[in-house]
């Protein structure tokens, strides 16, 4: 079916679905008449197409496409979830699924295991990153898509999946039968002390058990490792359940303190979330790390901690998702995940960065510019703003990878090299002190793979030449273009040396990831983490920490000193005049 038909379906379905969901307040006769008319029109339109369209079409697929087109007109978070997608939807909420506990991807001509999760069936069966899937459930894997292989790896708990795997180094094949288990991806990805009594907790999402797991991790650091301050890492945490975020905030603030409230079109759906328990620790200094991929519940947590002046926020501006979704059951086993409200953190601000209700003429949307945002105040009177995510108290600029590093990673050159490297280095005695030293070996490997890439400026020059040719200027500027291309052309060996430090880091992180799984990856990444280092500096400097959260208090102290000096001068002047 063509896009025009889907757009008609989307337009016609919009009001009826909203009415059916019970979220339309307008009960006027005109509105009800409009709803009834559109329902009849849609019903008739679809029957006419079904009866007279020249080819037979998949009814279920067309209706699903129409529904998707309709909800996509609203925002990226409202969507229809058919019964067959319920397992994936439940995984987003619980972080649990039944499978083998690994990630897969296309590496060269093969679908391979790219990451193994510790303690899972894949790990127990000795599967390594780089192992090629030759056959799965009796099917030739080379004829399957990644999604099809993934679907075969998943299944009901305690059922078997049979694989034929190939070792990428030796080429030898082996048969493996893996019993699927319930896989729970770790919410708390890493929990440890860093230095001088500073604890560190990094967690990946706000799922059903996040608050309990966080509490357990924090109490272990507090009671057993005697931490005196804490770093909470929410970078790349896309969010999740709102109640889990508020419960974790509650661990650090006084009972009955307002954390977040929601506003909906339906007043009955408005809610205010307050701390309902006494805190575990309302004094410990905290730094929260965020980046552009910290969204939703991550922004509720970091925003509430900022508004209540309970933590210093360090990193990049967050994503800017201030919308709340709820799931409503539909007939035939489906669900509608629908945006029902916006949330507002303690200062009264909403961090939503895009107004989906006001679109450009072409239907596109854009972020709210800073010039149109509004000032709010934190508990201590600090100025914060709405409409564009959480702006950190201490900003850290993101450093993008160089072009060569990006392509070495994207084209799996680093991944494949590490697979080969670990064939001869199966163990590293002291991971925390590990230093990768065989860089010349990697350079030779990259050159042997005939690795090539194109710099963005080379692409721009090529595009500029095409434009010059179209407009008749290419011959006129031929010498200049040739000189510029020669000046800016890259050299592989030169770039491998120029960006050696950056590439070394990527290699060492991949080595630790393949050897020691997620914990190894994080441990190695933290060695080069500038935001973590900044967080440590802030927590070590008590005066700086306090001045960030209470800048006005510092100014008042300064004013008091000036007042005392002025008063002293007046007294002295009086004495002299006497």
Residue 206 backbone phi and psi in degrees, to 5: -105, 85
**Where does residue 100 rank: exposed (0-12), middle (13-18), buried (19+ CB within 10 A)?**
buried
Cα radius of gyration (the chain): 29
CA distances from 290 to 252, 287, 392, 465 (A): 18, 10, 8, 41
Instruction: Assess whether 296 carries a catalytic annotation.
Output: yes
Instruction: Assess whether 420 carries a catalytic annotation.
Output: no
Annotated catalytic residue, options 19, 296, 298, 302: 296
Residue 130 burial (CB count, 10 A): 23
Closest residue by Cα to residue 114 from 524, 518, 529, 527? 518
Annotated catalytic residue, options 19, 75, 192, 321: 321
Instruction: Assess whether 27 carries a catalytic annotation.
Output: no
CA distances from 142 to 139, 145, 164 (A): 9, 8, 12
What's the rounded Cα separation, in Å, for the pair 116 and 423? 16
- The answer for residues whose C-beta is within 8 angstroms of residue 4's C-beta and 6 or more apart is none
Please identify which residue in the block is written with the tokens 């992180």: 509
Annotated catalytic residue, options 131, 192, 307, 386: 307
CB distance 478 to 451 below 8 Å: no
**Alpha helices in 471-499, H assignment, sequence order:** 478-488, 492-498
Tokens of 278: 């006494």
DSSP string, 53-90: -SS---HHHHHHHHHHHHHHTT-TT-EEE-GGGHHHHH
What's the rounded Cα separation, in Å, for the pair 251 and 347? 19
Beta strands 312-315; 394-395: pairing state: parallel
Catalytic residues: 296, 307, 321
């Amino acid at each position: 079916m063509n896009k025009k038909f889907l757009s008609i379906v989307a337009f016609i379905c919009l009001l009826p679905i909203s009415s059916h969901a019970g979220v339309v307040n307008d009960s006027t006769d005109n509105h009800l008449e409009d709803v009834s008319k559109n329902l009849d029109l849609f019903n008739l339109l679809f029957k006419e197409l079904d009866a007279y369209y020249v080819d037979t079409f998949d009814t279920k697929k067309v209706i699903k496409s129409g529904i998707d087109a309709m909800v996509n007109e609203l925002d990226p978070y409202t969507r229809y979830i058919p019964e067959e997608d319920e397992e994936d939807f439940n995984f987003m909420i619980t972080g649990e699924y039944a499978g083998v506990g690994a990630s897969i991807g296309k590496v060269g001509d093969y679908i391979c295991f790219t990451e193994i999760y510790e303690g899972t069936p894949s790990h127990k069966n000795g599967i390594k990153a780089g192992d090629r899937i030759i056959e799965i459930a009796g099917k030739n894997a080379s004829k399957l898509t990644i999604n099809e292989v993934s679907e075969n790896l998943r299944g009901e708990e305690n059922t078997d999946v049979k694989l034929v795997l190939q070792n990428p180094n030796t080429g030898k094949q082996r048969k493996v039968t893996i019993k699927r288990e319930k896989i729970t991806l770790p919410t708390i990805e890493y929990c440890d002390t860093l230095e001088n009594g500073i604890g560190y907790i990094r967690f990946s999402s706000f799922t059903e058990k996040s608050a309990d797991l966080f509490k357990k991790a924090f109490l272990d650091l507090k009671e057993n490792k005697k931490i005196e301050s804490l770093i909470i890492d929410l970078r790349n945490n896309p969010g999740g359940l709102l109640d889990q975020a508020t419960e974790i905030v509650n661990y650090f603030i006084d009972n009955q303190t307002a954390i977040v409230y929601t506003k909906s079109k339906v007043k009955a759906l408005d809610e205010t979330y307050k701390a309902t328990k006494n805190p575990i620790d309302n004094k410990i200094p905290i730094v929260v790390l965020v980046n552009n991929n910290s969204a939703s519940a991550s922004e509720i947590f970091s925003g509430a901690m900022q508004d209540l002046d309970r933590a210093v926020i360090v990193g990049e501006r967050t994503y800017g998702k201030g919308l709340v979704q709820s799931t409503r059951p539909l007939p035939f086993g489906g669900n509608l995940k629908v945006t029902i409200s916006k949330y507002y953190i303690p200062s009264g601000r909403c961090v939503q960065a895009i107004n989906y209700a006001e679109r450009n003429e072409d239907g596109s949307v854009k972020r709210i510019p800073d010039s149109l945002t509004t000032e709010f105040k934190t508990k201590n009177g600090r100025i914060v703003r709405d409409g564009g995510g959480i702006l950190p108290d201490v900003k850290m600029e993101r450093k993008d990878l160089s072009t060569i590093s990006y392509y070495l990673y994207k084209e799996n050159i680093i991944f494949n090299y590490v697979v080969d490297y670990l064939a001869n280095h199966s163990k590293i005695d002291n991971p925390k002190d590990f230093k990768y030293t065989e860089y010349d070996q990697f350079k030779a490997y990259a050159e042997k793979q005939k690795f090539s890439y194109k710099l963005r400026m080379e692409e721009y020059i090529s595009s500029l030449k095409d434009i010059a040719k179209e407009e008749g200027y290419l011959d006129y500027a031929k010498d200049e273009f040739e000189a510029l291309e020669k000046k800016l052309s890259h050299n592989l060996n030169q770039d491998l040396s120029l960006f050696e430090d950056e590439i070394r880091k990527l290699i060492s992180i991949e080595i630790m990831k393949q050897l020691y799984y997620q914990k190894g990856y994080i441990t190695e990444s933290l060695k080069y983490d500038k935001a973590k280092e900044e967080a440590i500096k802030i927590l070590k400097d008590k005066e700086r920490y306090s001045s960030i959260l209470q800048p006005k208090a510092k100014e008042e102290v300064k004013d008091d000193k000036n007042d005392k000096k002025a008063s002293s001068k007046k007294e002295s002047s009086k004495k002299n005049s006497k």
